Structure 1
């Protein structure tokens, strides 16, 4: 059974196996440490559920509440939290050591669009064959690229040679 929300299942009513529990009433008032039978009777009298909200405590903490409503409110809070979080994507711009100026400016414009949308940009210069002997050419290309996008980005991770690629990470400039 797969749901959109991840709610950890709590012990309710007969699933609680402890002898004594610390009981909290519907309105949040403490009723003290009571035997599990008495806690179950109190919950049944009010036509509500006994829910073990802190199973690891000594003694475990149980609350008298409507379990269906409780699950609904937790799911609602989780959904609201997911809605408010911002997903940051990493977009990649690939360059070569002998890229022409116009191609470089076109790729830089694309990177600026990504940065304005709030995404991170991974700039990679790929070296093929004998180009590995001239990695300084890749550094020059990355520096030229940085001059173009410099007003829109800050460097998160400086250019570094990793295998056959020189990689640099840019993040949007915070204002």
Structure 2
């Protein structure tokens, strides 16, 4: 900016960006900018000659920062978040997961739903499809299904995309009491505690539902009574 520009000549553009003053000596361009109460800012230093703009530097910097934040916001939006539901999930756990799915859709993310079968539940796949239909209905006011429920191995997968912002309406947010708002959840960059990237369920259900779980170990026999 101004005297920090090292090139001897620069191409000068007016503040509105539509008019050019042409190629000028850098010292002359700086003088013109200062006569207007403005600054000469280098906007394309790698051009030949470098391109400079006569602007209010404070205003220019503010606009650049605003554009950078908007670009970062758009970059963060549109991710695919994953939510896992077990067949036979507890109603309270279901509501919490649906609330988190609403959060993701409200933030503009897609939500990939995975319904997990365990053990003998595979013999009752209709329960999984019933749960999928319930999730679809409960998120109907926040998103639309762009991948219908489909069986894949021991899971049913589907994907929901957010509706346009003005059409989204939360169904469950106010029904949950004592649950921390997602804005207050502190997490490291790249990890969202609301997203089920890892299956954190305990192993009790695996032992209860798995066909191949081991039988309990036999108890040791009582010692014989002492000889009389």
TM over 0.5: yes
Distance between the aligned counterparts of 1:52 and 1:135, measured in 2? 68
Distance between the aligned counterparts of 2:8 and 2:48, measured in 1? 11
Per the TM alignment, residue 51 of structure 1 is displaced from its structure 2 partner at its CA by 0.6
Distance between the aligned counterparts of 2:13 and 2:155, measured in 1? 60
Could you tell me which runs of 5 or more consecutive residues in structure 2 were left unpaired when the two chains were aligned: 168-228
Distance between the aligned counterparts of 1:62 and 1:95, measured in 2? 60
**Given the alignment, which residue of 42, 53, 58 partners 1:68?**
58
Within-5 A mapping of 1:43-54: 43-54=33-44
Per the TM alignment, residue 62 of structure 1 is displaced from its structure 2 partner at its CA by 0.8
Within-5 A mapping of 1:28-39: 29-39=19-29
Per the TM alignment, residue 165 of structure 1 is displaced from its structure 2 partner at its CA by 3.5
Q: CA RMSD in A?
A: 4.5
Residue 140 (structure 1) aligned with residue 129 (structure 2): yes
TM-superposition CA deviations, 1:123-146 (whole Å, max 9, x none): 322133455x64845653445436
Distance between the aligned counterparts of 2:83 and 2:105, measured in 1? 14
Q: Which has the larger radius of gyration?
A: 2
Map of 2:147 onto structure 1: 157
Normalising by the residue count of structure 1, what TM-score does the alignment of the two structures yield?
Answer: 0.57
How has the CA–CA distance of structure 1 residues 128 and 117 changed in structure 2, closer, same or farther, with 3 Å as cutoff?
A: closer
**Given the alignment, which residue of 5, 17, 41 partners 2:6?**
17
Distance between the aligned counterparts of 1:150 and 1:64, measured in 2? 51
How has the CA–CA distance of structure 1 residues 47 and 155 changed in structure 2, closer, same or farther, with 3 Å as cutoff?
A: closer
Distance between the aligned counterparts of 1:142 and 1:123, measured in 2? 11
How has the CA–CA distance of structure 1 residues 159 and 21 changed in structure 2, closer, same or farther, with 3 Å as cutoff?
A: same
Could you tell me which runs of 5 or more consecutive residues in structure 1 were left unpaired when the two chains were aligned: 1-11
Distance between the aligned counterparts of 1:172 and 1:47, measured in 2? 48
Distance between the aligned counterparts of 1:23 and 1:51, measured in 2? 9
Map of 2:218 onto structure 1: none
Q: Which has the higher strand share?
A: 1
